[in-house]
């Protein structure tokens, strides 16, 4: 299947063509804005060094996307998802984690009312 043609960056006045919504320069700018003004300030406390260690160990034990695996596909892990979000009382415990590829993680987050909703 052919790739979708590149489209102009959605940042006002930017002529760059991109495969996503924003060019690299403006994607970083938009993410920085989101992290500073929209994201809960306690997020960085919850996702510190301890979380990065837990995440790495979980990926070693579960190297394949769990949703894709149930569908018979083998897709490498790109994200570790909290089944019950930390903001709603979830923990970093292994029972609350799920290894996912980027597309499955985005789909689950969007249906749960995450960032993209």
Question: In the structure, what pLDDT confidence band is assigned to residue 1 with cuts at 50, 70 and 90?
Answer: low
Measured from the Cβ of residue 22, the count of other Cβ atoms closer than 10 Å reads 18
68 touches 101 (CB < 8 A): yes
pLDDT digits (tens, 9 = 90+) for 56-103: 999 999 999 999 999 999 999 999 999 988 878 889 899 999 999 999
As a whole number of angstroms, the distance between CA 97 and CA 88 comes to: 14
Parse the chain into domains and list their residue ranges.
51-103
pLDDT per position as a tens digit, 12-47: 999 999 988 899 999 999 888 887 777 777 766 777
């Amino acid at each position: 299947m052919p790739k979708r043609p590149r489209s102009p960056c959605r940042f006002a006045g930017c002529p760059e063509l991109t495969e996503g919504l924003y060019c690299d320069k403006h994607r970083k700018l938009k993410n920085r804005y989101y992290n500073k003004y929209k994201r809960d300030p306690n997020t960085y406390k919850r996702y510190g060094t301890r979380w990065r260690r837990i995440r790495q160990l979980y990926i070693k034990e579960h190297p394949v996307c769990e949703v894709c695996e149930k569908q018979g596909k083998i897709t490498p892990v790109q994200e570790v998802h909290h089944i019950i979000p930390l903001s709603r009382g979830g923990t970093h415990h292994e029972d609350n984690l799920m290894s996912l590829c980027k597309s499955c993680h985005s789909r689950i987050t969007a249906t749960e009312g995450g960032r993209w909703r």
